Every structure is written in C-alpha cells, then in structure tokens.
Amino acid sequence: MQEAETENLIRLHPAGQFLFVEFLPIRDAGKLPARLVHVTSAAHAEKIRREGLHSQKGRIYMQSPELKVEPEYISLHRPEQALVSVSVDTDKLLSQGKKIILDPESVHGYVGEFKHAFVVYGTIDPDELKIEKLAIH
C-alpha cells in the first residue's frame, strides 16, 4: 500500500483503528500498460463485438497483457474452455475521460497483480476493441 500511496494511486485515510483507502483515478499513461486486456469466454465474444465491453455494475476488470488472472467462473487450465482476449489501447481510454483505478484486490491479493490489474468505469465501444483467441499453454 505504501508504494501505491507514494505513486498517487491511492490515498490512505486513517480514522482511529480503521484505515480507509481511496482509489484515485489514474490519468498518467506512464502508470498504465499501453494496452489493457479483459479475458472472457469465447461464447461472449460475438456480443462484445456487437455491443462493446460493459458490465451491469459499471466496472470492467482489466489487466496488463502479461498478467493471466482467471476471470470469475472461467478456468485458464481447462483446454475445452475457449477463451478470448479483449484488448483496448490505454491512451484511447484516457483521451475519452474513462476513469481507471487500480483493482482494489491487487493491493492486498496476489502480489503479481499489483499495478497489473485495473478497473475501468463505464463502457468501451466495440470499435475500440480488439478481440483475439487466447492461446493457453
């Protein structure tokens, strides 16, 4: 958390025995990978191609291309599970004013997720997305 606070990715608010963490919007492209990726099942690819990337809660969980974290209900280790990688140029997201923060779980979860897992608020238009079959090794 100290590193995230130093880099102005979060702001800590101590309150007695509690510590509140405020996740700050990342506006500096240098603090983000050039592309962000969303991994999902191939069954969702056609809908994403038509409608874009969005969620009912308004939060899209994305990661750097190097990180291969399993999405909910999807296993990267089941060869019969066809997966796709949905990617978007980070500069385009920032130029559109999209709010991007660190994924809160990346600060206290799996150490490899820190500064590789993010949340993008809103929707991402289909013409901004690149969809590719994900090769699992």
Residue 125: both structure tokens together? 């238009």
Q: Within its chain, how far is the Cα of 32 from the centroid?
A: 10
Residue 128 DSSP class: G
Residue 77: both structure tokens together? 């280790």
3-state secondary structure at position 83: strand
**Cβ(30)–Cβ(98) under 8 Å?**
no
3-state secondary structure at position 74: coil
Residue 38: both structure tokens together? 């969303």
Taking the model in full, what pTM does it have?
0.87
Domain residue spans of the chain: 25-133
pLDDT at 74: 64
**Cβ(88)–Cβ(36) under 8 Å?**
yes
pLDDT tens figures, 107-124: 886 778 889 999 999 999
Which range among 96-100, 110-114, 133-137 shows the weakest confidence by mean pLDDT? Answer: 133-137
> Looking at the domain 25-133, which fold is it?
ADP-ribosylation fold (3.20.170)
Residue 61: both structure tokens together? 């969980």
